[in-house]
Amino acid sequence: DTGVSQNPRHKITKRGQNVTFRCDPISEHNRLYWYRQTLGQGPEFLTYFQNEAQLEKSRLLSDRFSAERPKGSFSTLEIQRTEQGDSAMYLCASSSSPHTYEQYFGPGTRLTVT
């Protein structure tokens, strides 16, 4: 098992464009989490999935953001009509029930909106 992977690692986009990130969790991990980390801050929770069900969403997740985990394996995070304030590192983590405290993080996708 190679751990949590995220693609792409870096994304530069122009304001107003849509972007999509992918996260592949550790196999057999049924829980998947998305966090956002801006410069000089710790990660902030965005949303989490148990299998394919999105069970919790932060108020940070505006209506321009949508996350999916269609088959309970990989997940995608899409940002529509990107804004400069969306520039951040987007982190994915996974865990397996019942040990939700053991979240393993991926390397992140760094988004720059110009």
| Minimum distance from residue 83 beta carbon to other proteins (Å) | 23
Q: Is 40 in the site for other proteins (CB under 8 A)?
A: yes
Where residue 30 falls (left for φ over 0; alpha for ψ -120 to 50; beta otherwise) is alpha
Answer for which of 13, 30, 54, 58 binds other proteins (CB under 8 A) is 58
Nearer to other proteins, 82 or 95 (CB): 95
Q: Is 90 in the site for other proteins (CB under 8 A)?
A: no
Q: Going by DSSP bridges, is the β-strand pair 31-37/44-50 parallel, antiparallel, or unpaired?
A: antiparallel
Residue for token digits 């829980």? Answer: 31
Could you give the count of Cα atoms lying within 13 Å of 68 in the half-sphere of its Cβ? Answer: 7
Answer for which of 20, 22, 30, 44 binds other proteins (CB under 8 A) is 44
Q: Is 56 in the site for other proteins (CB under 8 A)?
A: yes
